[in-house]
Amino acid sequence: MLGPIFRPSKGPQDLYALNALTAQQTLFHTFDAPGDALALDGGGTLTPYTVAYQTWGKLNADRSNAILIFHALSGDAHVAGMHEDGRTGWWDLMVGSGRAFDTDHWFIICANVLGGCKGSTGPSSLDPVTGKAYATTFPVITIDDMVRAQRPLLRVLGIEKLHAVAGGSMGGMLALAFAQLYPETTERAIVMASAAANHAQAIAWNTIGRQAIMNDPLWREGHYYDSPEGPPKRGLSVARMIGHVTYISEGAMDQKFGRTLQALEKESFSFGVDYAVESYLAYQGNIFHQRFDANSYLYITRAIDYFDFAAKTSGDLTAAFARTRAQFCFFSYDADWLYSPERNEEMTLAARSAGREAIHHQIQAPIGHDAFLVQRDPQTELIVKFLSVA
């Protein structure tokens, strides 16, 4: 099968070829003290709960150089450098010495989201009441719930104000939510390849992915953790294939794969893996189910669908930005059909109408939505400039 593609090339003179950050340890904080119970949008509370996080760089004397980075759907706290298990950070291109988020200057924090499966409390975590995995008894959560779960972490770290919050895709939604929920804490917000709310087609794709998981016989209504047959690997693999198609543009797919067959000559017809693009998607699905939990996929995509930045202002996007105090920097990518430049421009204009400083950079990126993850230029220079603005 084909290996990963769409990664930037690295030449011998490429300053980004190696990240000098050392092996990074994931830290955990469990919020279980009186008053730590997390009130949820869907009703009720969650207690106790754990947040898994990593940090890079050093907090300065006046604690004014902290930046909170939010990950996208399938990410985790390990944003950069080499992890203790040998993995490279999911945004290694952008976080590190001399990079956009320069760890020689900034103190970087990244936490696994609530509902995830990489250390923070989620459906695969043990319910303290039953001693078994929550599975689908875990409460349905929202983007705002994820943000509220991370806010107390700043107090643990002794940080009262963030220089910036940043994220792409779902991470951009989290950055928007944080800026609205905690305006006094947020000076700047970098929102990349994201939207103020999912449009109907995006919700439709997420729905199909969830149905793929829930129609796998091994899903067992979410209670598969103790099953000898294991988790719903096939359903999750298909969900990942569906999602992955939305992250890459039509042009990029054509350019990389076209109608290329796996074999040079086709001798017989079948329903097997004939085309190169089929092989690539099968590869993506296979590696994904090895590292991600199917229930977390359900919970996180549902949270994305529920997100609506203007919900608290009856759909008025300008009024929604009026509830913030941050300066905003939006990035969109011309071939991104999931969260288009037009949607980002709409947010930019609404923020300005609310009296907020806002800038929108539309980047030429043939790959589409995933460009924020794999393309460092010109966004590196633009982020450095935005972070340095007085």
The answer to whether residue 169 is catalytic is yes
Residue 41 lies in a domain: yes
Q: Which of 144, 293, 336, 370 is catalytic?
A: 336
Structure tokens at 18: 């190696």
Rounded distance, CA 256 to CA 92, Å? 24
Query: What local confidence, expressed as pLDDT, does residue 13 receive?
Result: 34
Residue 49 lies in a domain: yes
Cβ burial, residue 124 (10 Å; 0-12/13-18/19+) = buried
Query: What local confidence, expressed as pLDDT, does residue 86 receive?
Result: 78
Query: What local confidence, expressed as pLDDT, does residue 268 receive?
Result: 75
Residue 254 lies in a domain: no
Helix (H) or strand (E) holding 108, with range, is strand 107-111
The answer to whether residue 36 is catalytic is no
Q: Which of 169, 237, 249, 279 is catalytic?
A: 169
The CATH number of the domain where 327 resides is what?
3.40.50.1820
The pLDDT-based confidence of 266 (bands split at 50, 70, 90) is low
Encode pLDDT of 113-154 as tens digits: 999 999 999 999 999 999 999 999 999 999 999 999 999 999
Residue 321 lies in a domain: yes
Q: What is the mean pLDDT of the chain?
A: 92
277: pLDDT strictly greater than 70: yes
Average pLDDT on 181-205 reads: 98
Q: Which of 71, 105, 361, 369 is catalytic?
A: 369
Structure tokens at 95: 């976080």
Query: What local confidence, expressed as pLDDT, does residue 2 receive?
Result: 33
The pLDDT-based confidence of 260 (bands split at 50, 70, 90) is confident
22: pLDDT strictly greater than 70: no
Residue 271 lies in a domain: no
Helix (H) or strand (E) holding 288, with range, is helix 276-289
CA torsion sign for 120, 54, 166, 30 is positive
Work out how many domains the chain is built from and give that number: 1
Residue 122 lies in a domain: yes
Residue 264 lies in a domain: no
Residue 296 lies in a domain: no
**What are the backbone angles phi and psi of residue 371, rounded to the nearest 5°?**
-60, -35
Higher pLDDT, 24 or 249: 249
Q: Which domain holds residue 82?
A: 27-199+308-388
The answer to whether residue 336 is catalytic is yes
Q: Determine which of 16-20, 113-117, 334-338, 381-385 has the lowest per-residue pLDDT on average.
A: 16-20
Contacts of 169 (CB under 8 A, 6+ apart): 72, 73, 192, 193, 194, 339, 369, 372
pTM for this predicted structure: 0.93
